[in-house]
Amino acid sequence: MIEGSAAGKKTPRLTYGMVGGGQGAFIGDVHRKSIAMDGQAELAAGCFSRDYQNTLTTGESLGLNKERLYKSFEEMMEAEGKRDDRIDFVVIVTPNNSHFAISKAALLNGIHVVCDKPLTTDSKDAEELQRLSEEKGLLFGVTYTYTGYPVVKHLREMVARGDLGTIRFVNAEYPQEWLSTPLEKTGQKQAEWRADPEQSGISNCVGDIGSHIENMVSYLTGQKIQSLCARLDTFVEGRLLDDNASILINYDSGAKGLYWSSQIAVGHDNGLRVRVYGTKGSLEWRQEDPNYATIHYLDKPTVIISRGRDEMYPHAQSFSRIPAGHPEGYFEAFANIYSTFCKALSKKLAGESLTAEDMDFPSVAEGVQGVQYIEKCVESSQKGAAWIDF
């Protein structure tokens, strides 16, 4: 841990390392910029690529000391675990198939973890990571980014308080068009690994964006899946994994759900949308217009909530950064996830107890649930869209 200063006063500042996110990668830079937004943690170490020269080039561009640029994640975790100024946590932004080994190595060396989703490609591996993190008392976050939006947090509290009455039905969709053609065969890096079962796991579309739907609905409504019926499609010729999925849901409360995720939906960029219907009203939120939500009531006029202009519940309001009319988006949502994680970690390292609000970031338990969801969807589809208990 190093010391930073704000307004002339020294305050503890966390340090972190990163695995993945080297030259030519996309998401690593998003994570770094989001963490930097609130100044609570500073990048101190990295193994940015399996190509050591890439790691060196990336580290140099980020101003890191060469002695903390590592040839492998194993070397990094072992070396950092022994340092007096060890990193406080590691951020993992590699393809899915490597998440388990990197996370496990970090935990075994006493390093807290933030991992991109899906957590692993196998639920047993995910469960082992949860067990290890709990046994060692280490924080473990999973970057389901969209729960970081202030309006989502407000809507979550509305549902929990019963403002919509008893939930009856949830409709959620996440359409994209970016894999409408065989993009993975053109050398495009992001498409290449996502379409490869060896790196992506047993699912592409559900594993990549469908898992965001599962997490968002679970977070927003508190509904627990009891059973599901999934049909996973592969429309692009020669593709090995799904690029479209339709999923029926039964919740243990008696409510029902319908999820659709697609990467061949021409005309859609990143269209995550959630609609929740209760006995008193309904809500609708869209990720591409995240500062607003529409609330319909059975016996009152429709309301459009505006982040920044309209008063939200206090916890949600605490995540709002700038005044009305200035859009907050993807980076801010990412930063909210990291800000919450870093504050919780700082309190933990200081020996302070953590509250439920402190822990309002996607946890390893949610990561386990996400992997189980992917597996159940694939199992159902392989059995001819049979109903599968969750």
- 300 found inside a domain: yes
Give the number of C-alpha atoms closer than 13 A to the C-alpha of residue 160, restricted to the C-beta side. 12
- pLDDT category at 9 given cuts 50, 70, 90 is very low
State yes or no: pLDDT of 72 exceeds 90. yes
Domain match, 155 and 135 both: no
- 194 found inside a domain: yes
- From 145, 176, 210, the end of a domain falls on 145
Domain match, 194 and 125 both: no
Residue 265 is part of a domain; what is its CATH number?
3.30.360.10
Structural domain boundaries, residue 131: 2-145
- 66 found inside a domain: yes
Domain match, 175 and 28 both: no
Helix-strand-coil split of the chain, %, nearest 5? 40, 25, 35
pLDDT single digits (tens) 25-54: 889 999 999 999 999 999 999 999 999 999
Which has the closest alpha carbon to 310: 298, 320, 297, 296?
A: 320
Per-residue pLDDT, 12:
67
Domain match, 56 and 129 both: yes
Domain match, 133 and 25 both: yes
- 346 found inside a domain: no
Structure tokens that stand for 324 in this block: 């009305």
pTM confidence score: 0.94
- Per the DSSP assignment, residues forming a β-bridge with 112 are 89
pLDDT single digits (tens) 53-69: 999 999 999 999 999 99
State yes or no: pLDDT of 4 exceeds 50. no
**Across the chain, what does the average pLDDT equal?**
95
pLDDT single digits (tens) 286-331: 999 999 999 999 999 999 999 999 999 999 999 999 999 999 999 9
Domain match, 161 and 302 both: yes
> Following DSSP, what letter does each residue of 47-104 receive, concatenated?
E--SSHHHHHHHHHHTT--GGGB-SSHHHHHHHHHH-TT--SEEEEES-GGGHHHHHH
Residue 28 is part of a domain; what is its CATH number?
3.40.50.720
**314 contacts: CB under 8 Å, gap ≥ 6:** none
Domain match, 131 and 170 both: no
Domain count, the chain: 2
For residue 50, count CB atoms less than 10 angstroms from its CB and return exposed for 0-12, middle for 13-18, buried for 19 or more.
middle
Phi first, then psi: what are they for 200, rounded to 5°?
Answer: -85, -30
Domain match, 158 and 81 both: no
Domain match, 222 and 258 both: yes
For residue 300, count CB atoms less than 10 angstroms from its CB and return exposed for 0-12, middle for 13-18, buried for 19 or more.
exposed
Check if the beta carbon of residue 286 is closer than 8 Å to that of residue 252. no
Query: How large is the average pLDDT for residues 280-288?
Result: 98
- pLDDT category at 181 given cuts 50, 70, 90 is very high
